[in-house]
Amino acid sequence: MHNVKANGADIPALGFGTFRMPGEDVLRIVPKALDVGFRHIDTAQIYGNEAEVGSAIAGSSVSRHDIFLTTKVWVDKFRHDDFIASVEESLKKLKTDYVDLLLLHWPKMDVPLAEQIGALNEVRKAGKVRHIGVSNYSTQLMADAVALSDAPIVTNQIEVHPYIDQSKVIAAAKETGMSITSYYAMADGKVFDDDVLKEFGAKYGKSVAQIVLRWVIQQDGLIALSKTVGEKRVVENFDIFDFEISTADMQAISALARPNGRIVSPDGLAPVWDN
């Protein structure tokens, strides 16, 4: 495991995500992930499983201080007072007095961005949050957030997989010292039927999932969120630090990107994406 350094944050490059993961699965699989070696756990208010994530961490053999814990404020809590109260509720559910990273989950602008960023900074100053970031932001919104924030923005969590070209957002993040945290690396399962990725799996003696996760974290400044409820897959997903993909093969995987590759773009939440 290596860490990604971004504006003062030291973030494990491979995280364990809990999106669409029922509470009972969280209680079973998060301790397994920690046992295997994961030290970066990602959840969100809207996932409805913060309490189970907190219980899993509290009941594990790994110290809370050795875990990089991320959660996200949902868009209906962006008003200042609602925001502050929601963070307190998240901390209570997570059974901790701080999170390592707090993100604005989607750029819903019925609340001024200055108010949202101001609330992020407030909870950071209060010690409730070590680092702050955004999620699903375009390059313009990233620039706006950076300009409005007293504290550094350490990441933008976005959709990253072989079928979408996020080079503009990645380059913009790098210019400001930010990292990119990738979700949906498996492209909602599409990668498993890809002949190119299967060939690379055979070449390197790895699974398609391992090839894709390695492709993500081998890019400078990128963090990958893996997700599974299967114990064997937890072990497999973590086993990506004993090989390196060649420069030519990295480029070949990136070349799988296509103009219509974006999967996640919910009406009423998604910004105007970069081309």
Feature table: binding site:
105
User: What are the two backbone dihedrals, phi and then psi, of residue 232, each rounded to the nearest 5 degrees?
Assistant: -65, -40
Pairing of strands 68-73, 40-42: parallel
Describe the crossing of helices 139-148 and 167-175 by its angle, rounded to 10 degrees: 20
Known binding-site residue numbers for substrate: 105
257: exposed, middle or buried (Cβ count in 10 Å: 0-12, 13-18, 19+): middle
Catalogue the active-site residues. 47
Longest CA pairwise span in the chain (Å) = 54
- Evaluate whether 64 touches 265 at the Cβ level (below 8 Å): no
Residue 182 has which token pair? 């990738």
